[in-house]
Amino acid sequence: MSLWITATCIAGALVSLLLVARRHAPAQRRVTAGVLQLAIWLAAWLLSQPPQLLPAPDAALLDSERLQDGDGLAHTATGPRQAITPALTSRELDALPALAVSGPGLYREDLLALPPVRLRVTGASHEHAAPATAAADGWQPRWPRQLGLGQELALQLQLQLPATLPAETPVKLLDPFGTAVAETTIPASPPPGKVTLADTPRLAGRWEYQLQIGEGPSARREAVPVQVNRGERPQVLLWLAQPGFESAALSRWLQESRVPTRVVTRLAPGIERSRNLNGFDGGNRAPLDPANGFDLLILDSQLWPQLDRRQRQQLRQQASVLWLVGDEAPEGFIDYARANGMTLERDRSAELRAPFGDRETPALGTTSFRPVAVQATDRVLRGAPAGPVDGRDTALYWGRGDADGALGFVFFRNSYRWITAGYGQAFARLWQAVLEPQLAYRGSGAPVTVRQALPRAGHRVTLCSRGFTGAAPLLSAVAGEQRLAGTQSTDGCYAFWPREHGWYELEATAEAAVAPFSLYVFAADAWPAWQRTLKAQSTGQMATARLGPGREAPAPHRPLPRHWLALLLLGLLAISWWGERKLKR
């Protein structure tokens, strides 16, 4: 097409020059008219191919306020580009030094649709602001999504005051039948504030509690779904190389949880102390004897050199093994982890904030090891903020499981300080998050994890499991006829787009060997303050992780706008018309 336009413009210019040369006019006037005709045809040619003369953009703004729910961000990869000001081509966006993000931010899947450009978080005034302040008006609710029958449902609402809610605002927890089972008010203490409500479900099943904020017509209710399981308590072996504060706190928590447990502590070579808790009766059998029927073994890495050949063979017969990795883990233990496909690498220790938003708890100290080559289906528990720290994958727990068992490693060492400081619930949440994936094998298949912290109707929901093999899994609505087939996103992960909120469950297939799994999908407008917090956290993490483009290739210049060239062409045509009019006079 461009060749035809070029040929037409050249032919038109030649014909125009020929007609000008045949005029009966002074030579100066003919030269002026010829130059004008050349300028007209040149402007017409430039209109089809604008020259790149404007300087390259060095900054652009992505206004996340323009990309609210309903814009189709979860369904298209070009949605975030529509809110970039000024509008940039893909090549210009790739070479952009930095992209400023204003407003509440975007979810991780939306930011991944952009090129790897460096992100800057800005405030309402478009000035540089720290990512941590982007969620100053957000909420961060926490509650266990699954419970055993008899366990307490504890809902904690972390919020900023006074911007989020006025002091003394009533807050109630309603059970599935609409009865208020717990209530309190927003405290008037300085920010941040915390609200805790609790109830103990009496029946097993899928339940939808509600959090009511305020009173009267202006009150708002948010869903608090929980699945209550009627399960058996596992039998646990806790075997330690030496007594310590961490092991004492863990054994005390297991005892209070009424888990049948045997605690073996090596006091000296050949001297061990053994205690049976909560009715466990293993007789005089050795700790690693398969006849004990332990569902989970929690072992100290310092025990490895003291295990003989027979004990190490018995260890391979156990279903689930969790290692407490110490700073002085022996090389033989490192070789054992590598032989099981989970390589550990020596690293410097770190102080991490607690996961799940427990910011008031003391920091967790990690041992001098980190995981290497983490797979997509592995369970990794990181401290807050989640994600890489200084380019390194700093983890608190790393586990890998299948339908037959699990192997995991714990890298923190001082969670006992949470007990002494009065944060018993945070201690329980931490160890529950570690033990649940280790015991997931006790179901009928591999465990399933959800990528999104707040699955929403009309948006992408990604489920991952090692048991997803063969045909795509199906997700069906519990209270409807909607059945969704998954679309594979990565190895072992499938994406779904549920249209309605409510409970969903995976349908069992012959190819997918996964454990029974239920999922609650929230309404698209549910928990708006929590959504702002999640967006701000995702944007802050991506702003820290993205390195931006290489600086070797300079950014391309921008072409002249076509309306400028059109105005130039109209002006030249007007001058030509005016000259021809004067000649006819």
CATH code (residue 212): 2.60.40.10
Task: Give me the pLDDT at residue 369, please.
Answer: 87
Task: Confirm whether 141 is domain-assigned.
Answer: no
CA 53 to chain CA centroid, Å, is: 41
Tell me: do 314 and 172 sit in the same domain: no
Do the bridges between strand 474-477 and strand 502-507 make them parallel or antiparallel, or are there none, so unpaired? antiparallel
The tens digit of pLDDT for each residue in 258-276 reads 889 999 998 877 788 889 9
Structure tokens at 475: 């997700």
Cα separations in angstroms, 66 against 95, 102, 106, 377, 537: 24, 10, 11, 34, 19
Among 347, 342, 402, CA closest to 370 = 347
Q: Are residues 410 and 364 in the same domain?
A: yes
User: Is the distance from CB of 330 to CB of 301 less than 8 angstroms?
Assistant: yes
- 410-432 average pLDDT score: 87
> What is the tally of structural domains in the chain?
5
DSSP state of 22: T
449 exposed, middle or buried (CB, 10 Å; 0-12, 13-18, 19+)?
Answer: middle
> How many CB atoms sit inside 10 A of residue 442's CB?
16
Q: Give per-residue pLDDT as tens, 80-124.
A: 655 666 666 666 666 676 777 877 788 888 887 777 777 777 654
Which helix (H) or strand (E) is 424 found in, with range? helix 424-438
Give the pLDDT confidence of 44-56 residue by residue, as tens digits: 888 877 877 776 6
**Does residue 446 form part of some domain?**
no
Indicate whether 358 and 432 sit together in one domain: yes
313 and 220, same structural domain?
A: no
Q: With H, G, I as helix, E, B as strand and everything else as coil, classify residue 459.
A: coil
pLDDT at 459 over 80: yes
- Same domain? For 404 and 305 the reply is yes
- If asked whether residues 17 and 71 sit together in one domain, one would say no
| 551 and 491 fall within a common domain | no
Burial class (CB in 10 A: 0-12, 13-18, 19+), 187: middle
Pairing of strands 320-324, 405-410: parallel
Q: Is residue 327 part of a domain?
A: yes
Residue 414 has pLDDT above 60, yes or no: yes
Query: Do 173 and 259 lie in a common domain?
Result: no
Domain boundary among 230, 248, 263: 230
**What integer pLDDT is reported at residue 389 of this predicted model?**
47
Say if 261 falls within a structural domain.
yes
Q: What is the pLDDT of residue 563?
A: 81
pLDDT at 89: 64
Q: Averaged over 28-39, what is the pLDDT?
A: 82
pLDDT band at 385 (very low <50, low <70, confident <90, very high): very low
pLDDT given for residue 524 in this prediction: 92
Residue 125 has pLDDT above 50, yes or no: no
pLDDT digits (tens, 9 = 90+) for 198-247: 999 988 899 999 999 988 888 899 999 999 987 677 899 999 988 888 88
Euclidean distance between CA atoms 355 and 364, whole angstroms = 10
Residue 341 placed within a domain: yes
Query: Do 222 and 240 belong to one domain?
Result: no
Q: What is the rounded average pLDDT of the residues 523-546?
A: 84
Q: Return all residues near 16 (Cβ < 8 A) that are at least 6 apart.
A: 34, 37, 38, 40, 41
| Token pair listed for 532 | 């702002």
> How big is the CA angle at 407 (ends 368 and 326), to the nearest 5 degrees?
25
Residue 144 lies in a domain: no
Given a cut of 50, whether residue 131 has pLDDT beyond it is no
165 and 274 both lie in a single domain: no
Averaged over 373-390, what is the pLDDT? 70
Position 547 confidence tier, pLDDT thresholds 50, 70, 90: low
Q: Is the pLDDT of residue 173 over 90?
A: yes
Final residue of a structural domain among 208, 230, 252: 230
Find which of 164-168, 235-239, 537-541 is predicted with most confidence, using mean pLDDT.
Answer: 235-239
> Do 422 and 500 fall within a single domain?
no
Assigned domain for 143 exists: no
pLDDT at 197: 92
Q: What phi and psi, each to the nearest 5 degrees, are found at residue 45?
A: -70, -40
Q: Is 253 found in the same domain as 164?
A: no
Cα 126 → chain centroid: 25
Identify which of 105, 109, 110, 106 has the alpha carbon closest to the alpha carbon of residue 490: 109
Query: Which of 183, 211, 230 is at the close of a domain?
Result: 230
| CATH number, domain containing residue 513 | 2.60.40
Tokens read off for 261: 């447990």
Average pLDDT over residues 289-310: 89
Residue 194, classed as helix, strand or coil, is strand
Domain presence at residue 41: yes
Of the candidates 519, 501, 517, which has an alpha carbon nearest to the alpha carbon of residue 459? Answer: 501
- Answer whether 289's CB lies under 8 Å from 314's CB: yes
Give the per-residue pLDDT at 410.
93
Range of the domain at 579: 2-51+560-584
Given a cut of 70, whether residue 392 has pLDDT beyond it is no
CATH code at position 257? 3.40.50
Q: Max CA-CA distance within the chain?
A: 124
Q: Is the pLDDT of residue 449 over 60?
A: yes
401 within 8 A of 553, measured Cβ to Cβ: no
Instruction: Please give the Cα distance from 251 to 553 (Å, whole number).
Output: 59
Residue 80 pLDDT: 62
Range 466-489 average pLDDT: 86
Stated length of the chain: 585
Given this model, what pLDDT does residue 71 score? 39
